[in-house]
Structure 1
Amino acid sequence: MQSTPDPSEEPTIRLGQFLKWANLAESGSEARDLIQDGRVRVDGEVETRRGRQLHLGQRVTLAYPGEDEITVVVEDL
């Protein structure tokens, strides 16, 4: 019999940490500012919580003013 995967065992990372890990922010304070300014979207929705848990397959988009948007898919945690 196959068991259902437990979502609590799935690897996650906090949004602020992910922005640093993916080189989208140089520091935690820059990540915080980007998130609070509404420049970060998760799966197309603006996210203002730095502690938001990201899961594999989610798309994080960063929009700098006057520049192209950058989208990174959470693939490796």
Structure 2
Amino acid sequence: MQCIYLNSDGTLKPTSETLELCQGYVLVPSLEAKNYVESSQINALEITASFTWGLTTVLLFGALSFKVKVSKMVINKM
């Protein structure tokens, strides 16, 4: 990776600054940029899986709380 600055005439000026000190733009290799884009995008299958997991969790805890409530009512009637 390399730090670069954009000049007022539209040209790029490379520098030897470290990434921590870079105030301009950072050039990254194409493979690294591709990996970043792929890791930050989600597809329909991932959305479906997340929604299904979340809904199942909510319904499961709802059913468990209902069973606990019914059990308490049965125990109190004894």
Give the shorter-chain TM-score range: under 0.3
Q: Normalising by the residue count of structure 2, what TM-score does the alignment of the two structures yield? A: 0.19
What's the TM-score once normalised by structure 1's chain length? Answer: 0.19
Compare CA radii of gyration and give the structure with the larger one: 2
